[in-house]
Structure 1
Amino acid sequence: MRRLRPAPVAPILAVSLIMLAACSESGGGADRELTVWIMGDSSAHFQELVRPFTDRTGIGVDTVAIPWDSADQKLTTAVASGRGPDVLQIGLSKARVIAGSGALLELDEETLKGHANLTARNFLGGLPAADGKAGGKAVSVPWVSDTRVLFYRTDVLAAKGITRPPETWDQVRADARLLASRGAGAFGYFIPQWDSALPVIMTWAMGGHIVNADGEIAFDTPAFRKAVDLYTGMYADRSVPADTDFDQVQGFVSGVTPMLVSGPYLAGAIASAAPELAGKWAIALTPGDVTRTSLLAGSNLGVWGTTDDRDGALRLLDYLADPRTQLTWYRLDGQLPAARSALGEVRRSPDPAAKVYSKQLDDARPLPQVPNWDGETGKALLDTLNAIVLTGANRDTALRGLYAATDGTPAR
């Protein structure tokens, strides 16, 4: 799922790489090995990231890539069996469920002693604090921050006379209709049918919320219904593909779907798949009719409670939380740092994409903090929308079912 190499992050990135190399001790094979689960389709970049750690400590790292669509099953099985990795990446939308399972090591003050990079002051403020805790006890630390922006093919849009990225969702829909008129097999926009954040972002864009004043889920609002009309309307326009197996990267690279909203990781995937497209695509703030608020997301890292190498796992977490390491990860994989000082360097970068990400982070909020967004509330939302656009379910009947299933769910 990921890849672009954004332009180097100011001079500090080069300095950081030199410092990491300098602090790496020469040394051969690993004396012991940690197993790490990283979410995504490839472990190659992460293995490159941790090579200096192994050189310096003698601790090997066996990285296992877990596709995001398999993460729930993999984590559920691990919790049930009690057998997991030494270290694992946890998406924030899943973090409360994993934290509450009791499977992770508590990261209390005594446990973190001597690991200065793992203190709370090292990390970006605003990431959902409750997601990394179980019963008030910290069990994970931030790894990457994330937001969503508009990706668009400048060359494809220009060929249809569109010289600026759309700033509102009405403009997105109109531009998508125009782009879909290019001929058979062409579309204007891509809606990931697995992405429950998009309809929430659309609701925010309409000036609404899906959490009421009592801190409960409440989809039954005018703003949400406007978002539903937008979402389903683009299918009705035939501006988006209905294929459930559609590949967003290849669709963007081929120009079949020249616009979509996604995170910084997509930039890496585009550049890796099609470096020849450099200069033919760009990013912009998420569209908005009332606001341009986008998603604040990311991933945490945790240590499996029954690890045989607690010391090694904590040393690896400390290395990954180091701002220099996080800047290297941004260069390698395009994912934004969670370390405060590292994100500050990204913000000061001359890279135009970094400036867009930084500006969007200033107007971003997390998904509602329900106990299991992906498995319950978010799933109900996607099931409802997909039923309408893919199977022809009655809009109003389907929405009433969504309201009945989710309204009143605690979201704080």
Structure 2
Amino acid sequence: MPLRTRAVTTATTATVAAAVVALLAACGGDGGDAGSKKVLTYWASQQSPSVQQDKAILEPELRRFTQQTGIEVKLEVIPFTELLNKILTATTSGRGPDVLNIGNTWTPSLQASGALVDWDAAMMDKLGGSGRFEPAALATTGAEGTPPAAVPLYNKVYQLYYNKKLFAAAGVTSPPATWDEFVDVGKKLTKDTNGDGKPDQWGLSLRGQASTNAAHYAFILGSARGAVFFKDGKPTFDSPEAAAGIEQYLSWMGEDKIVNPSDAENADWANVYEAFAGDKAGMILAQTLGKTLHDYKLTSNDYGVAPMPRSSSGTGADVASFVGGTNVAVFKGTENLDGAVNLVKFLTSASEQSTLNAAYGTIPAVKDARGAAFDSAEMKIARDTIASRAIPMPRVPQETQFETLLGKDVVNWLSSTATGRQPSATDISAALAAAAGKVSAGG
């Protein structure tokens, strides 16, 4: 999924597939000088807290590209909440950019529309070969068994962030390594600090209203239990393992009582960060976010970073995260394919990967990116996670529909849990079966 944590508008597979019309017409330029082939239009996704900050990061780099190639780049930075719908509109209208960023979990669905240029072996050789890229990141670039439809650009993975002050006060000397330890630590951190008989400090804070994050947690926890969400292109996410993963997530607020019930209404990550920075929550499970915590005046003296916990039983799969991030793609309708490929080559070069990922606090998609920014404890854990404990979300055209349906269900279940009505495993399984039926039907 997208890099900065935010709600993402998604679309059904049917909607995406409908976008196939007019794709071979001239999509490139969108106002650029396509005739001279000296102007490329680039839709960049908003990666930082503001569009203006993204422009300040990207514009100097794109000027360097122009100096090297003579090709001007017309930059538009688009918030992730608007990006997918804007892409779908472009594919149906025949007017779009030459190069664009896409949330990596959208890639199989957009690939199915026929809107994107394939990156076969010959194309990847123009970037130095597929071996330059982290395998887990490369796995997000298209449906299984197909050539990539995009190229990895920025990546993130889930990690555990913990409040050092609250850990010390609770006598916790190290971050939890297993999910059982995670709950035990969460209970030690959940306290009534003002004497009114109710907890006002909690073990964990959640962004409960975010359907994207809800789908991520369900996928990670279910996968760690051995769940397979699609098999041979068909939905299988109504398995007992998938239901158990969701039940585990809901139990943190319900049965385990380590999450403030009011977190079910959190629609913005700011609420989570404020609780963490204000010593009201001891832990966060989030995608790589050191840059964001620094915005809240926190330093490594205030918080620590650890890998996501492992299964306590030792069974299932050792999955710590899905591979989150942003890919870069080329529209088939570009009138300057060579220039577009050169821009992708520039953005994925070792030097630009080092510069841009350092600026955004994200994980380089290529193995040869170097720099002091990637030597921190947080980044070392992140790079180890993406190399050995992260898997892509389902690589199927129905992914956006799957993620939308699953996320909405989990959000609703968390709201019920907040009122003391945590759904049973039977209820969860029945609803998952209904959602799987909708995905199968394409509705």
Q: Where on the TM-score scale, by shorter chain, does this alignment land: which range?
A: 0.7 to 0.9
State the identity as a percent. Answer: 24
Q: Which residue matches 1:302?
A: 329
Q: Secondary structure at the match of 1:132?
A: coil
C-alpha distance 212-328 of structure 1, shift in aligned 2 (>3 A): closer
Please point out which of 394, 403, 416 is paired with 1:368. Answer: 394
Deviation at 1:368, TM superposition (A): 2.1
Q: Do the aligned residues in 1 keep the contact of 2:143 with 2:396 (CA within 8 Å)? A: no
Q: Letter of the 1:334 partner, please give it.
A: G
User: In 1, Cα distance between the equivalents of 2:249 and 2:371?
Assistant: 33
User: In 1, Cα distance between the equivalents of 2:221 and 2:83?
Assistant: 26
Deviation at 1:408, TM superposition (A): 11
Please point out which of 283, 289, 297 is paired with 2:305. Answer: 283
User: In 2, Cα distance between the equivalents of 1:328 and 1:151?
Assistant: 25
Q: Which residue matches 2:154?
A: 144
Deviation at 1:400, TM superposition (A): 0.1
Q: How does 1:165-180 map to 2 (within 5 A)?
A: 165-180=175-190
C-alpha distance 334-340 of structure 1, shift in aligned 2 (>3 A): same
**What's the CA shift string for 1:166-222, capped at 9, x where partnerless?**
1122222233333332556543323343311212211233x3223477674433444
Q: Which residue matches 1:159?
A: 169
Deviation at 1:137, TM superposition (A): 4.8
Q: Which residue matches 2:411?
A: 386
Q: Letter of the 1:315 partner, please give it.
A: N
Q: How does 1:98-117 map to 2 (within 5 A)?
A: 98-107=110-119, 112=123, 116-117=126-127
**What's the CA shift string for 1:33-54, capped at 9, x where partnerless?**
5332224353243334434223
Q: Secondary structure at the match of 2:265?
A: coil
User: In 2, Cα distance between the equivalents of 1:348 and 1:45?
Assistant: 16
RMSD: 3.3
User: In 2, Cα distance between the equivalents of 1:132 and 1:213?
Assistant: 16
The farther-off stretch of 180-189 and 227-236 is 180-189
Q: Do the aligned residues in 1 keep the contact of 2:203 with 2:259 (CA within 8 Å)? A: yes
User: In 1, Cα distance between the equivalents of 2:165 and 2:422?
Assistant: 37
Q: Do the aligned residues in 2 keep the contact of 1:124 with 1:340 (CA within 8 Å)? A: yes
Q: Which residue matches 1:188?
A: 203
**TM-score (norm: length of structure 2):** 0.73
Please point out which of 74, 86, 89 is paired with 1:74. Answer: 86
Q: Do the aligned residues in 2 keep the contact of 1:285 with 1:292 (CA within 8 Å)? A: no
Deviation at 1:322, TM superposition (A): 0.6
Deviation at 1:75, TM superposition (A): 2.5
Q: Secondary structure at the match of 1:340?
A: coil
Q: How does 1:307-346 map to 2 (within 5 A)?
A: 307-342=334-369, 345=370
Please point out which of 290, 303, 306 is paired with 1:267. Answer: 290
Deviation at 1:285, TM superposition (A): 0.9
Q: Which residue matches 1:122?
A: 132
C-alpha distance 371-119 of structure 1, shift in aligned 2 (>3 A): same
C-alpha distance 398-334 of structure 1, shift in aligned 2 (>3 A): same
User: In 1, Cα distance between the equivalents of 2:149 and 2:290?
Assistant: 30
Q: Which residue matches 1:34?
A: 41
Structure 2 residue ranges without an equivalent (≥5):
6-37, 194-198
The alignment status of 1:197 with 2:216, answered yes or no, reads: yes
Deviation at 1:256, TM superposition (A): 3.5
Q: Which residue matches 1:351?
A: 376
User: In 2, Cα distance between the equivalents of 1:155 and 1:52?
Assistant: 44
Q: Do the aligned residues in 2 keep the contact of 1:132 with 1:141 (CA within 8 Å)? A: no
Q: Do the aligned residues in 2 keep the contact of 1:144 with 1:299 (CA within 8 Å)? A: yes
C-alpha distance 108-216 of structure 1, shift in aligned 2 (>3 A): closer
Q: Secondary structure at the match of 1:331?
A: helix
Deviation at 1:151, TM superposition (A): 1.7
Q: Do the aligned residues in 2 keep the contact of 1:204 with 1:293 (CA within 8 Å)? A: yes
Please point out which of 234, 247, 253 is paired with 1:229. Answer: 247
Deviation at 1:132, TM superposition (A): 3.4
**What's the CA shift string for 1:94-150, capped at 9, x where partnerless?**
00111122222344577x49x732532332224454733699454322223432221
User: In 2, Cα distance between the equivalents of 1:378 and 1:155?
Assistant: 36
Please point out which of 264, 269, 277 is paired with 1:253. Answer: 277
Q: Do the aligned residues in 1 keep the contact of 2:157 with 2:382 (CA within 8 Å)? A: yes
Q: Do the aligned residues in 2 keep the contact of 1:176 with 1:187 (CA within 8 Å)? A: yes
Deviation at 1:390, TM superposition (A): 0.9
Q: Secondary structure at the match of 1:188?
A: strand
